[in-house]
Amino acid sequence: MEILIENIQVNYIDEGKGTPVIFLQGWGTNIDLYYRVFDKIKQKNRIIALDFPGFGKTPEPETAWAVDNYVDFLEKFIEKLKLKKVVLMGHSFGGRVIIKLMSRKDKNFEVEKIVLLDSAGIKPKTTVKKQLRQKWYKICKKVVSSKPGEKLFPGMVQKLQNKYGSADYRKASPLMKQVLVKTVNEDLTDLLPNINRPTLLIWGDLDTATPLSDAKLMEEKIPDAGLVVLKNTGHYSFLEDFYTFSKVIDVFLNSK
């Protein structure tokens, strides 16, 4: 399905009946990746999921968005669908958007419950080694990006990005690289106490992208939060241990 928001043709699904559960994707993914989750949820609830601008089948925004821009977009999406009560479920980047959204007081809809799956939002502490690595990268990039540098070292900027950038950064388009930089440099830790709805945290104990320590901090900071750790799973814990995830999510979504 498609819907037009801010002159962007948004790819989304809307299936099932009951309480609307809006699923927000992880960075660089497309909603096809999560269909097993959607099939489970729509057994008892209405599942709605969209490809954010720049992800999946939805075109990129015209400028480099920050998290707040994605929150604005989500609010317009919910308003367009005329939803008044929703459950929010977000994986990784999607969780980041939910955290930012819940810090806003004036919303035209009510959030009943929240599910954060291996969520982003907490900026990792930078070690001295990492600081030096980042500084060296910036110096090298500045040198090779100059006109003399481009002539002496053709293609070196791309090689530096491949060596020092994350996998997400390497795969992103030039515009989405700018979005990613804005996103990961924003620490949402101080916003966690603003989440005033029952919140389920589901995490992989082997997650290296958003480590388990992030989940424990979220559990501590969010007033009504509970953490379920899925053993021997990583950043896609809910897909890696789908059996346990299915049992937990069914109870959380469908209990009063």
Asked if residue 47 belongs to a domain, the reply is yes
In contact, 180 and 169? CB cutoff 8 Å? yes
Whether residue 119 is found in the same domain as residue 133? no
What is the structure's pLDDT at 134? 58
Instruction: State how far the Cα of 166 lies from the Cα of 143, in Å rounded to an integer.
Output: 21
- At 167, the pLDDT band (50, 70, 90 cuts) reads confident
Looking at residue 162, its pLDDT comes to 61
Please indicate whether residue 242 or residue 142 has the higher confidence score (pLDDT). 242
Same domain for 167 and 193: no
pLDDT in tens, 124-147: 876 555 555 555 556 655 666 777
Name residues whose C-beta falls within 8 Å of residue 73's C-beta, 6 or more positions apart in sequence. Answer: 5, 6, 8, 52, 53
Is pLDDT larger for residue 163 or for residue 79? 79
Banded model confidence at residue 97, pLDDT cuts 50, 70, 90 = very high
pLDDT of residue 174: 95
Residue 24: the pLDDT is 98
Does residue 81 fall inside a structural domain? Answer: yes
The verdict on 70 and 167 lying in the same domain is no
Give the alpha-carbon dihedral of 194, 198, 200, 201, to 10 degrees.
20
Query: How many domains are there within the chain?
Result: 2
Considering the domain boundaries, does residue 181 fall inside one? no
Tens-place pLDDT, residues 221-237: 999 999 999 999 999 99
72 vs 150: which has the higher pLDDT: 72
Report the C-alpha gap between 92 and 111 in whole angstroms: 19
Q: What is the DSSP-derived secondary structure letter of residue 28?
A: T
Asked whether residue 162 falls in the same domain as residue 105, the answer is no
Residues 137 and 215 in one domain: no
Computed on alpha carbons and rounded to an integer, the radius of gyration of the chain in Å comes to 19
Tokens of 242: 């789908």
Q: How confident is the model at residue 45 (pLDDT cuts 50, 70, 90)?
A: very high
Q: Are residues 163 and 197 in the same domain?
A: no
Instruction: Find the mean pLDDT for residues 147-162.
Output: 65
Nearest to 192 by CA among 126, 114, 254: 114
Q: Measured in whole angstroms, how far is the alpha carbon of residue 249 from the centre of its chain?
A: 19
Q: 194 and 165 share a domain? A: no
Give dist(CA 180, CA 155) in Å, integer: 22
- The stretches of the chain forming alpha helices (DSSP H) are 35-41, 67-80, 93-101, 128-145, 147-152, 156-164, 167-171, 174-184, 212-221, 237-240, 242-254
Domain endpoint, select from 173, 208, 240: 173
Proportion of the chain above pLDDT 70, given as a percent: 87
* pTM flag (> 0.85): yes
Range of the domain at 164: 128-173
Q: Do residues 108 and 232 both lie within one domain?
A: yes
Split at pLDDT 50, 70, 90, the class of 107 is very high
194 in the same domain as 111: yes
> Is position 180 within any domain?
no
Looking at per-residue confidence, does 95 or 165 come out higher? 95
pLDDT of residue 26: 98
Q: Do 149 and 108 belong together in one domain?
A: no
pLDDT computed for residue 102 by the predictor: 98
Residue 159 CA to chain centroid, in angstroms? Answer: 27
- Between CA 56 and CA 81 the distance in angstroms is 20
> Which CATH number is 207's domain given?
3.40.50.1820
User: Which pLDDT belongs to residue 145?
Assistant: 72
Query: Within a 10 A sphere around the Cβ of 108, how many other Cβ atoms?
Result: 11
Domain boundary among 142, 173, 204: 173
> In this structure, are 169 and 197 located in the same domain?
no
- Among 104, 121, 1, 115, smallest CA distance to 49 is for 1
Mean pLDDT, range 71-80, rounded to an integer: 98
Residues 119 and 147 in one domain: no
